[in-house]
Structure 1
Amino acid sequence: MGYLRGFTPWVVYGLVSSFDWRGGALAGLLTGLFLFIQDRRRGIAADAQILDVSTVVYFAGLVALAFAAPDSPLKPYADVLSFGWLALTAWGSLLIGRPFTLGIARLTTPPEYWDQPEFVRINVVITTVWAGAFTALGISLAVCVLADAPGWVGVAVHVAGLAAPVTFTSLYSARAQARAEALAAAS
């Protein structure tokens, strides 16, 4: 579940922004930069850092907005914008034929599988599920803001909306790995 590390800046942002959105944006940016630099120093390939780069770009923009216009009418929609950005990142990575999970999966998968169509297809499916979840979360959170829903509703939406793709990724990856091992054993 190494891909969850890439969401650390978003979690930090969520925690800090519950007190101050400017501080949350800055904390998200600094955490994202720290992880990006740390991974570059470790020699992590660029294709495994699509989410990291996207995160830094997003939070740099959010920091600029939050400090330039602290009372921006976009402030209540910061979570909506976050998931919208993540959705654009995921859908965009699919559109250009480089699912954001592909590089991450290569970190734990032997190189002989990297170019196999099944490996790529598995990552297309996983990235599609994440893209759909980000899209659904963004829309759901927009509805929460527009309906002036209580805070616990937004928290429940976050938890359910992220638990689904995390669970799917774990189960689907394990099933795909078991299928590959069974095929290898049969050969």
Structure 2
Amino acid sequence: MRGLLGFLPWIVYAVIATGDEWRWGAIAGLAIALVLVAVDRRAGKAWDQMVIEASAAIFFACLTVISLVAPHSPLTPYGPALVNVWLAGTAWGSLAIRKPFTLGIARTMAPEEVWRTPQFYRVNAIITTVWAVAFTVAALSLTLVLNVSPHATALVIAVKVLTFAVPAVFTAWYPSFARRRLAAR
């Protein structure tokens, strides 16, 4: 569950950034991301253990600048979708370079002797793919919802919750399922 703490900046942004409050959401997301990165680096964590946190710091730095320079940007209503576009890019990009973002987190929870096994990589590639698909579905769904009905708050919240909860539950469940399946062979 420690790996989910990296999503805190994104969650705080989602809660705060409603309508005109996107500046404060961006600033809060940036502050939390920077604190997480600083605390983790001070604790000796490698960058591959902080992909989501580092990605959040970059995203929220950019979003903070945009929100301060152009507070009435046409991007404002699409903030929830932009978050998921960025997260999808982070997840798909980590898969493209064959370093699924979950690998660094998983290494903190698994014995070192399994880190270089094909099964360990495969489990993390599958988990990262589930997150990437969820972020992509969220980005597309939120863009559609916000374009058709910009005030459909309940639907926006439902999309955000479902597209976070489903991969989070899968992440908690899948490694033990994969171990059982491997042991049964």
Deviations 1:66-116 (A, max 9, x none): 000000000001111100000000000000010000001001111111000
Structure 2 counterpart of 1:101, which letter? T
Aligned position for 1:102: 103
Segments of 4+ in structure 1 off by > 3 A?
177-180
Deviations 1:7-38 (A, max 9, x none): 00011111221361101000000000000000
Aligned position for 2:2: 2
Per the TM alignment, residue 5 of structure 1 is displaced from its structure 2 partner at its CA by: 0.6
| 1:157 corresponds to which of 156, 159, 162 | 159
Could you tell me how far apart the structure 1 residues matched to 2:135 and 2:104 are? 19
Could you tell me how far apart the structure 1 residues matched to 2:105 and 2:181 are? 20
CA contact (8 A) 2:146 2:152 kept: no
TM-score by length of 1: 0.93
Correspondence list, 1:83-122, <5 A: 83-122=84-123
**Which one is further off, 169-178 or 118-127?**
169-178
Correspondence list, 1:2-151, <5 A: 2-18=2-18, 20-148=21-149, 150-151=152-153
SS of the residue 2:154 aligns to? helix
Structure 1 counterpart of 2:11, which letter? V
Deviations 1:102-131 (A, max 9, x none): 001001111111000000000000000000
**How many pairs are equivalent?**
183
| 2:174 corresponds to which of 147, 172, 175 | 172
Where in structure 2 are there 5+ consecutive unaligned residues? none
Structure 1 counterpart of 2:152, which letter? P
Per the TM alignment, residue 177 of structure 1 is displaced from its structure 2 partner at its CA by: 3.6
Could you tell me how far apart the structure 1 residues matched to 2:164 and 2:47 are? 25
Where in structure 1 are there 5+ consecutive unaligned residues? none
Per the TM alignment, residue 176 of structure 1 is displaced from its structure 2 partner at its CA by: 2.3
TM-score by length of 2: 0.94
Structure 1 counterpart of 2:54, which letter? V
Could you tell me how far apart the structure 2 residues matched to 1:63 and 1:35 are? 17
Per the TM alignment, residue 52 of structure 1 is displaced from its structure 2 partner at its CA by: 1.3
Per the TM alignment, residue 179 of structure 1 is displaced from its structure 2 partner at its CA by: 4.5
